[in-house]
Amino acid sequence: MTTQDDTKAHAQGDHPAKVAAKRTPVDLAIRYGFLSLMAGLILFFSVASEGFVSPYSAVFIFQSVAITGILALGVTFTLVVDGFDLSIGSTATSALMLSAYVMVVLEMGAVAAVLACLVMGALVGLVNGLLIVKMKVPDLLATLGMMFLLIGLQRIPTEGRSIATGMKMPNGETTVGKFSPDFLWLGRHRFDFFIDNLIPVSVLILLGVAVLCWVFLELTRHGRLMYAIGSNQRAAALAGTNVNRYKILAYMISGVLASVGGILLAARLGRGDLASGNNLLLDSVAAALIGFAVLGAAKPNAFGTAVGALFVGVLLQGLTMMNAPYYTQDFVKGSVLVVALVFTFALTGRRRGSNH
């Protein structure tokens, strides 16, 4: 009994000292560094560039990152189970082409187009998951293969042309279908919010998806088990987790969210444009990886991913308003990513290492 009390007293006696030791400047920097950097940027741009602080500018930033943000949240799920999904970009563009095909060529309505895209996204995720779980193909390679396959597949029905009303089909007919107004509403409607016509649908969808992802990953047992799988797959399996099912689920969520991104892109463009969406994969993966650095998480997380996407949006919008040329954008994104990765792996790794 004495030993037990001793141990407890000892543990409690240690408590304040250790907690104080935890809050070193490095720890603070790791935890709040990225958020402060973002606050600093916003402050800088609002001083340096007139008109940066306005509801329209804020909404523009949100709108510019809505689609990549949604894709990034999807890829976050695959990162959580220690996987990776390279096929999100091409899944999104496939959804873009599929929705155009359904409405313009098959002359069906908005609901059919949306459903077809969501089902396709889920199927792509299912195939990815099965390739990885059942066929034991490494995640990067399986989704790389899927990426290629989809890029090719979306060109076949139209012999490599973009889809628009009035185009000639391979069989010689001219398409007469149109993008349904309900579908275009998804991309073009703006809700009133204090100011008339302020908030686009895509921004609301982004916020909704982000909250749902956060709740799922942080608050539910399914999210916890996904993190457990990513942390030590074998231990998770021995704790009774159905590892395969959760992995497949992660890829399906990734596929569905990618198709949501594709739908929004199609609704904004109003045509099945083959060339759009080239940057989706890199941008969204970058957002998810930048998310590692937010709050010193050092792991994929929904909040970080959303912040990561916003960070890039703020930076690009600010630079654009300060007349930085468009062709510097990728360079800026790349730099942010590298800095974020250093935050995550060098600094956090050092802290973890010293704890052991």
Partner 1 sequence: MASTAVEISGLTKAFGANQVLNGIDLELHKGEVTVLMGANGAGKSTLVKVICGVHPADKGEIRLNGKPLHAATPSEAIRAGIVTVHQSINDGVIPDLDVASNLMLDKLAEPGAGFFLKRREIRAEARKVAASIGLIVDVTRPVGELDLADRQLVAIARAMTHEPELLIMDEPTSSLSAKEAERLFALLERLRDTGVAILYISHRTSDIRRLADRIVCMRDGEIVGRFDQKPLDYEAAVHAMLGHGMTEADLSFKPAGEVVLALERLQITPGAKPINLNINQDEVIAITGLVGSGKSRLAAILFGLEQPVSGEMRLNGAPYAPMSPGQAIAKGVFLCPKDRGSNGILPDHNLTKNITAPFLARYSTGSILNRKAEARAARATIEKLNIVCQSEGDDIGTLSGGNQQKIMVGRWLSEACNLLILDEPFQGVDIKARRDIGDKIHETAKGRATIVMASEMDEVLEIADRIVVLADHAVAGDHDNGDLDLRLVLAQVAGQANNDHTKTASGQ
Binding site for partner 1 (CB under 8 A): 3-4, 7, 10-11, 14-15, 18-19, 215, 219-222, 224-225, 227-228, 231-232, 234-242, 298-299, 352, 355-356
Tell me the closest approach of the beta carbon of residue 311 to partner 1, in angstroms: 24
Antiparallel, parallel or unpaired: β 190-193 and 195-200: antiparallel
Tell me the closest approach of the beta carbon of residue 213 to partner 1, in angstroms: 14
Tell me the closest approach of the beta carbon of residue 144 to partner 1, in angstroms: 22
Mention every residue, 6+ apart, whose C-beta is less than 8 A from residue 130: 248
Looking at beta carbons only, is 54 or 232 nearer to partner 1? 232
Q: Which of 229, 251, 250 is nearest to 143 (CA)?
A: 251
Looking at beta carbons only, is 323 or 355 nearer to partner 1? 355
Tell me the closest approach of the beta carbon of residue 323 to partner 1, in angstroms: 44
Q: Which of 272, 264, 230 is nearest to 250 (CA)?
A: 230
Tell me which residue has tokens 């062709």: 327
CA distance 144 to 148: 6
Q: Which of 217, 216, 83 is nearest to 142 (CA)?
A: 83
Contact assessment for residue 120 and residue 258, using Cβ atoms and an 8 Å cutoff: no
Tell me the closest approach of the beta carbon of residue 123 to partner 1, in angstroms: 25
Q: Which of 118, 124, 132, 114 is nearest to 148 (CA)?
A: 124
Tell me the closest approach of the beta carbon of residue 356 to partner 1, in angstroms: 6
Looking at beta carbons only, is 39 or 219 nearer to partner 1? 219
Looking at beta carbons only, is 226 or 309 nearer to partner 1? 226
Whole-angstrom CA distances from 151 to 146, 210, 223, 253, 320 are: 9, 27, 31, 20, 31
CA distance 73 to 86: 13
Looking at beta carbons only, is 103 or 228 nearer to partner 1? 228
Tell me the closest approach of the beta carbon of residue 31 to partner 1, in angstroms: 15
- CA 300 from centre of chain: 11
Looking at beta carbons only, is 15 or 168 nearer to partner 1? 15
Whole-angstrom CA distances from 312 to 123, 197, 295, 302, 305 are: 30, 25, 17, 16, 11
> Which token pair is 118?
């969501």
Tell me the closest approach of the beta carbon of residue 140 to partner 1, in angstroms: 20
Looking at beta carbons only, is 24 or 220 nearer to partner 1? 220
Looking at beta carbons only, is 4 or 323 nearer to partner 1? 4
> Which token pair is 12?
């409690």
